[in-house]
Amino acid sequence: MTAASATTERVLLTGFEPFVPGLDVNPSWEIVRPLDGAVLPRGERRPAAIRVRSVRLPVAYGIAAAKLAEAVASFEPHGILCFGMGRGSSVKIERRYRFAGRDGERLEPGEPPAREALLPVEAILRALESRGFAACASDDAGLYVCEHTGFTATGLARRLGLRFAGLVHVPPPDLLPIEGQAAIPLAILSALYPPCAAEPRLRDDDLPDVRDLARSLDGGGDGLG
């Protein structure tokens, strides 16, 4: 076994606390919460194991950025995937994050006022669509706390040399129930960690049982706090 095949990739997933009046859950957190501490094992088609940490962020400028930076410092991930609840029934891969001068935001000298996602967008869209999700790319992340975290994540990734970073908006639960969104993070990971060129994509049996993950949304874990 080579040194490269024995490595473990660390991936940080983030979601948000509930923030909509009358809605006591946020799907962006509920779909990543069951993956906290999970390890996707190495295999013939995937030379590195993938260790996941999931962190819930507050819906607050500055505080969200600080908690994200703290999680990156403690976990030292190879990549960051931020999730937020958007509008509409499609999963949206956000490609652009604008500087808005919020608490915790800063531009490097000479940096343009927007950052591009560090994501293989087309591969992610194909992975999502192959699993039955409506998905699209977006250049307007909303200028809210979600875009704030995308801006922060890509800035951290560039400074630290991480492999990928970006923001994904998932549908609200009235348009796509949370249990129907459980496979979204795994589908994206299959695009970020593709198998060797001889294989079209990760097989479903390479991934944790999504049915078990969906069932775990109804119990266990640390809840919503």
pLDDT tens, 146-199?
Answer: 999 999 999 999 999 999 999 999 999 999 999 999 999 999 998 998 763 333
Tell me the CATH number of domain 4-216, given options 3.10.580.10, 3.40.630.20, 3.40.50.2300, 3.40.50.1380: 3.40.630.20
In this predicted structure, what is the pLDDT of residue 45? 61
Q: Is the pLDDT of residue 105 over 70?
A: yes
- The pTM of this model reads 0.83
Domain ranges for the chain? 4-216
Question: Across 77-184, where does the E strand assignment appear?
Answer: 79-85, 91-94, 96-98, 114-116, 135-138, 164-170
Q: Which tokens belong to 58?
A: 């507050």
Length of the chain, please? 225
